[in-house]
Amino acid sequence: MLRNHPIKAVLFDLDGTLRHHLPKGSEVFVGYLRSLNIPISHEDETRAERWEHFYFAHSLEIQQDREAFKDNSKAFWVNYSKRRLVALGLEREQAARLAPEVSEYMGANYKPEAYVPKEAPLMLAMLKQAGYTLGVLSNRDEPYHEELKNLRLDPFFDFSLAAGEVQSFKPEPRIFQRGLELAGSAAHETIYVGDNYFADIVGSHRAGLAPVLFDPNRLFPDAGCDVIRSFDELPDLLMQG
């Protein structure tokens, strides 16, 4: 679905796309519920993961929660746990009872390691050598240059941008527009690769970029855009475009 224009820039999301957690928080969350003999089906897990993508796509719900709990991080995560329990299919009353316990368990036991998919550095090196301008746009509040260095990704990118730097969070258009300014490319010359359908695909499409969904687990089968399950597929997709 890439447009019939030469692509000059490839921009990426960070968390969930280039940077991952091992183990995934959703797996630990659901694992604990199953240890309590609470039945969770595969369909429940998929629905909750889609909800999580929606929630963290600068949704009205997370904006309200951040304001309501801005001075109480612990209460924020208890409330988040309650929301996720409801998304998994629990009744609201049961979710409210369980949320403090689940949140406490996650806080005490969830200590993930960050990793980059092994295909990503080779893919980025290929794109850089081919002459594409490369950038990272993230919904983080603060710049993350040091993290890119720690992940050994910084040599590949011409720039990185945090949403907090422009006070515009995906799917809002301003962060994408600023990314285009930094890349020195027009929207029709730029693709955006991200894992969050609601933030990355909807947002980049609205801003006029060509969206590519990174969806290794086929979470969004009806995305309506180009989809890759591995970074190995991206160079070929660009050549086809």
**Residues of the chain above pLDDT 90, percent:** 95
pLDDT tens for each residue of 121-166: 999 999 999 999 999 999 999 999 999 999 999 999 999 999 999 9
Q: What is the per-residue pLDDT for 240?
A: 73
pLDDT level of residue 6 (50, 70, 90 thresholds): confident
Contacts of 157 (CB under 8 A, 6+ apart): 124, 134, 135, 136, 148
Query: Which three-class secondary structure string do you get for the chain?
Result: CCCCCCCCEEEECCECCCEEEECCHHHHHHHHHHHCCCCCCHHHHHHHHHHHHHHCCCCHHHHHHHHHCCCCHHHHHHHHHHHHHHHCCCCHHHHHHHHHHHHHHHHHHCCCEEECCCHHHHHHHHHHHCCCEEEEEECCCCCCHHHHHHCCCHHHCCEEEEHHHHCCCCCCHHHHHHHHHHHCCCHHHEEEEECCHHHHHHHHHHCCCEEEEECCCCCCCCCCCEEECCCCHHHHHHHHC
pLDDT tens for each residue of 16-40: 999 999 999 999 999 999 999 999 9
